[in-house]
Structure 1
Amino acid sequence: MSATEQETQAASGSARVRPPGGTAGPASSAEDAELLAALGYEQKFDRKVSLWANFALGFVYLSPLVGVVSLFATGLATAGGPAVFWIAIVGVGQFLVALVFGEVVSQFPLAGGLYQWVRRLWNGRYAWFTAWTYISCITIGITSTALYSSDFVASLFAGTAHDPGVSSTPTERLFIAIGMTVFCLVCNCFGTRTLALISKIGLAAELIGIVLVGLYLLIFERHNSVSIFFDGSSSNHDGYFGAFIAASLVGLFLFYGFEACGELAEEVPNPSRSIPRAMQLTVAVGGVAALLAFVGYALAAPDLASILAGKDSNPIPAILQGSLGTVGTKLVLMVTLTSFIAGVMSQQAAASRITFSFARDDMFPGARLFSRVSSKRRVPLNALLAVNVLPLLIFVFVYFSPDSLNKIAAFQMLAGYAAFMMVVLAALRMRLKGWRPAGAWTLGRWGFVVNVAALAYGVLGMVLLAWPTGDSGTPLVDRWIALIGFLLVSAVGLLYLLAAKPERNSTAPEGDALEVAERLRARAATTAPTTGGKRA
Structure 2
Amino acid sequence: MDMQRDRQLTDGSADDLQTMQTFHYSQELKRTLKLFASFAVAFSFISITTGIFTNYSFVLNTAGPLGIWTWPIVGLGQFFVGLVFAELAGKIPLSGYSYQWVSRMAGPGWGWFVGWVGVCFLVLVVPAVDSGLAPILASVLGIEPTQSHLNMIVIGILLIQALLNIYGVRLASSINNIAVFTEAVGIIGLTVLLGILAVIHHAPIQLLFHPGAEHQGYQLSNFVMASLIGAFTLVGFEAAANLSEETIHASKTVPKAILTSLILSGVFGTLFLIAATLSIPDVALITKSDNPLPAVIEANLGSWIGTAFLVLVIISIFACGLVIMTSGSRLIYAMARDNAFFFSSLFKKISPTTGVPVPATVMLLIIGILATLFSNSLTLLVGAASVLPAILYLITVASYTWGGHRLPDLTHAFSLGRWGRVVAWLAIVWLVVEIGILTIPSEFHKVTLVAAALLAIGVLFYFGLFRRRIVAGEAGVHPVE
**So what's the TM-score if we normalise by structure 1?**
0.85
Are the structure 2 counterparts of residues 233 and 327 from structure 1 closer, same or farther at C-alpha, using a change threshold of 3 Å? closer
1:413 is the counterpart of 2:386: yes
- Unaligned runs of 5+ residues in structure 2 are none
| Contact 2:20 2:27 (C-alpha < 8 Å) held by counterparts | yes
Superposed displacement of residue 129, structure 1 = 0.9
Superposed displacement of residue 441, structure 1 = 0.8
- More helix per residue: 1 or 2? 2
Partner of 2:427: 454
Are the structure 2 counterparts of residues 183 and 70 from structure 1 closer, same or farther at C-alpha, using a change threshold of 3 Å? same
Instruction: Work out the CA distance in 2 between the residues paired with 1:221 and 1:186.
Output: 42
Partner of 1:534: none
Report Cα offsets for 1:422-477 as digits up to 9, x if no partner.
1111111114xx4466241101111110011111111111110112244xxxxxxx
Secondary structure class of the residue paired with 2:288 = coil
Superposed displacement of residue 484, structure 1 = 0.7
Secondary structure class of the residue paired with 2:7 = coil
Q: What is the 5 A alignment of 1:379-394?
A: 379-394=356-371
Secondary structure class of the residue paired with 1:317 = helix
Q: What is the 5 A alignment of 1:129-528?
A: 129-158=113-142, 168-222=145-199, 223=201, 224-232=203-211, 235=214, 238-307=217-286, 310-398=287-375, 401=376, 404-431=377-404, 434-435=405-406, 438-439=409-410, 440-470=413-443, 479-500=444-465, 501=467, 502-504=469-471, 506-511=474-479, 516=480
Instruction: Work out the CA distance in 1 between the residues paired with 2:124 and 2:478.
Output: 32
1:89 is the counterpart of 2:56: no
Which residue, 108, 114, 124 being the options, matches 1:124?
Answer: 108
Superposed displacement of residue 27, structure 1 = 3.7
Report Cα offsets for 1:95-133 as digits up to 9, x if no partner.
110100111111110011111111111111111111111
Partner of 2:90: 106
- Unaligned runs of 5+ residues in structure 1 are 18-25, 160-166, 471-478, 520-536
Superposed displacement of residue 507, structure 1 = 4.2
Superposed displacement of residue 234, structure 1 = 5.7
Moved more, 130-139 or 76-85: 76-85
Instruction: Work out the CA distance in 1 between the residues paired with 2:399 and 2:182.
Output: 37
Superposed displacement of residue 221, structure 1 = 4.5
Instruction: Work out the CA distance in 1 between the residues paired with 2:182 and 2:288.
Output: 29
Superposed displacement of residue 83, structure 1 = 1.3
| Contact 2:87 2:416 (C-alpha < 8 Å) held by counterparts | yes
1:58 is the counterpart of 2:42: yes
Report Cα offsets for 1:255-299 as digits up to 9, x if no partner.
111011111000001111111110111111111111122112111
Report Cα offsets for 1:341-366 as digits up to 9, x if no partner.
10111110111000000000001111
Q: For CA contacts below 8 A with separation 6 or more, give which structure has more relative contact order.
A: 2
| Contact 1:78 1:235 (C-alpha < 8 Å) held by counterparts | no
Superposed displacement of residue 209, structure 1 = 0.8
Instruction: Work out the CA distance in 2 between the residues paired with 1:509 and 1:135.
Output: 17
Whichever residue aligns with residue 203 of structure 1, its letter is V
Report Cα offsets for 1:480-501 as digits up to 9, x if no partner.
1111111111111111111112
Superposed displacement of residue 253, structure 1 = 1.5
Larger radius of gyration: 1
Instruction: Work out the CA distance in 2 between the residues paired with 1:397 and 1:197.
Output: 33
Partner of 1:15: 7
Secondary structure class of the residue paired with 1:238 = coil
Instruction: Work out the CA distance in 2 between the residues paired with 1:509 and 1:243.
Output: 44
| Contact 1:45 1:267 (C-alpha < 8 Å) held by counterparts | yes
Are the structure 2 counterparts of residues 95 and 331 from structure 1 closer, same or farther at C-alpha, using a change threshold of 3 Å? same
Superposed displacement of residue 306, structure 1 = 2.3
How many percent identity over aligned positions?
A: 26
Whichever residue aligns with residue 56 of structure 2, its letter is F
| Contact 2:211 2:218 (C-alpha < 8 Å) held by counterparts | no
Whichever residue aligns with residue 377 of structure 1, its letter is T
The Cα RMSD (Å) is: 1.9
| Contact 1:155 1:317 (C-alpha < 8 Å) held by counterparts | no
1:48 is the counterpart of 2:28: no
Superposed displacement of residue 5, structure 1 = 6.2
Superposed displacement of residue 31, structure 1 = 2.7
Are the structure 2 counterparts of residues 237 and 481 from structure 1 closer, same or farther at C-alpha, using a change threshold of 3 Å? farther
| Contact 1:77 1:236 (C-alpha < 8 Å) held by counterparts | no
Superposed displacement of residue 508, structure 1 = 4.3
